[in-house]
């Protein structure tokens, strides 16, 4: 993983293919930061991640998506270094974060947070 890190919501900026010139959400690179509720909330309240907010997970934001909410909760429980390590390992196994020109990938095929967490940790479908 490069140095873009994770967004406030838990998105793995290094695996986003939308804008190859983006420097990462937390470095101000998000092209939609003006309209992003999570970006606006976290920067105005000086939160490092959405899970620091007492209203987490807010349903009227990107956190309504199971994968994104689970990634944020994973960081809260296990830390960003652990998630980074597993994403790198899983990428080497051929697990895809985002399919080409889509905002979904292999991590989006599950119905529960526990299934996604197990997939992150084990890298098996």
Is 85 contained in some domain? yes
Task: State residue 23's pLDDT score.
Answer: 77
Range of the domain at 28: 13-122
Is 2 contained in some domain? no
Is 58 contained in some domain? yes
Choice among 13-17, 57-61, 87-91, 95-99 with the minimum mean pLDDT: 13-17
Is 7 contained in some domain? no
User: pTM (2 decimals)?
Assistant: 0.88
Is 101 contained in some domain? yes
Q: What DSSP state is assigned to residue 6?
A: B
Domain count across the chain: 1
Is 1 contained in some domain? no
DSSP symbols for 6-61 = B-TTS-BGGG--S-TT---GGGT--TTTTT-HHHHHHHHHT-SSGGGSTTPSPTTS
Token digits of residue 94 = 């051929």
Contact present, 22 and 28 (Cβ < 8 Å)? no
10, burial (CB in 10 Å: exposed 0-12, middle 13-18, buried 19+): buried
The label of the residue with tokens 């900026």 reads: 13
Is 82 contained in some domain? yes
pLDDT in tens, 23-63: 778 887 777 788 889 999 999 999 999 999 999 988 888 88
How large a percentage of the chain has pLDDT more than 70? 94
Q: What does residue 6 show for φ and ψ, rounded to 5 degrees?
A: -115, 150
């Amino acid at each position: 993983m490069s140095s873009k890190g994770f967004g406030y919501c838990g998105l793995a900026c290094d695996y986003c293919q939308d804008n190859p010139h983006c420097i990462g959400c937390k470095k101000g690179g998000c092209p939609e930061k003006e309209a992003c509720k999570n970006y606006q909330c976290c920067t105005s309240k000086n939160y490092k991640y959405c899970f620091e907010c007492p209203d987490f997970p807010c349903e009227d934001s990107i956190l309504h998506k199971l994968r994104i909410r689970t990634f944020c909760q994973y960081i809260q429980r296990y830390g960003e270094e652990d998630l980074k390590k597993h994403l790198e390992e899983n990428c080497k196994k051929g697990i895809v974060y985002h399919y080409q020109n889509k905002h979904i990938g292999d991590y989006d095929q599950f119905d529960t947070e526990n299934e996604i967490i197990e997939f992150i940790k084990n890298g098996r479908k």
